[in-house]
Structure formats: C-alpha cells, structure tokens
Amino acid sequence: MFVRKSAGPRTVTLPDGTILTMADLPAADARWIARRKAVVVRAVEHGLLAREDALRRYGLTDEELDGWAAAVHRHGLAGLKVTALQQFRGHPQL
C-alpha cells in the first residue's frame, strides 16, 4: 500500500480529546449531511486540512465554508441540518 506524503499533519487531536485523521474526511463526491460538513469545518479549523485544499477538494466557495463554520459555532451540529435552517435563521416554518 502506498501512502502519499502530505505537507500537513495526518492526525489532529480535537479539544474534546477525539482524534481526527485524513481518513475521517468525507469523499470528494459525498452527499452533504450535517456530520460530514462538521468534519470538514473541524479539519480546517484544527489544521488537518488547509482551507484552500478544502475549497478545491469539495468544490466549495468561501461563503459556503464560512457559513458552515458559523452555523457550527452558533448552533452546533444541529445548525448544519437542512431541516433546521429556517428555524435558526429566524424565518417561519413553511
């Protein structure tokens, strides 16, 4: 098995003591669910994945990644769930 050498760390320890590795990152073509978005946000914030690499790898815009990070900081994982977006943004349920 060949392991590609990366410039950054292969693992990071999060504040809650859990370890996040490159293997924990979602596939580039993965369907976006709240948990996968949160993993990408944590990886970028803790230096496992460079912001530019995340944008390129997942085809994200700066605004998308910033929005995900803001939602995680304000509301936790629930802030990233599509069904809860209107509630957290202050809009009435449709």
User: From CA 17, how far away is CA 15, in angstroms rounded?
Assistant: 5
Three-state DSSP class for 14? Answer: coil
Sign for the CA dihedral angle at 52, 30, 35, 75 comes to positive
SS3 state of residue 35: helix
> What distance in Å separates the CA atoms of residue 4 and residue 8, rounded to the nearest whole number?
12
Walk me through the domains of the chain, giving residue ranges and CATH numbers. 33-86 (1.10.10.10)
Instruction: Check if the beta carbon of residue 34 is closer than 8 Å to that of residue 80.
Output: yes
Tell whether the model's pLDDT for residue 5 goes beyond 90: no
pLDDT of residue 71: 92
Extended strands (E) in the chain: 11-13, 19-21
33-91 confidence digits (pLDDT tens): 999 999 999 999 999 999 999 999 999 999 999 999 999 999 898 888 876 555 555 55
The pLDDT value recorded for residue 94 is: 47
* pLDDT at residue 93 greater than cutoff 90: no
pTM of the model: 0.80
Q: What is the pLDDT of residue 9?
A: 84
Tens digits of per-residue pLDDT, 21-35? 999 999 999 999 999
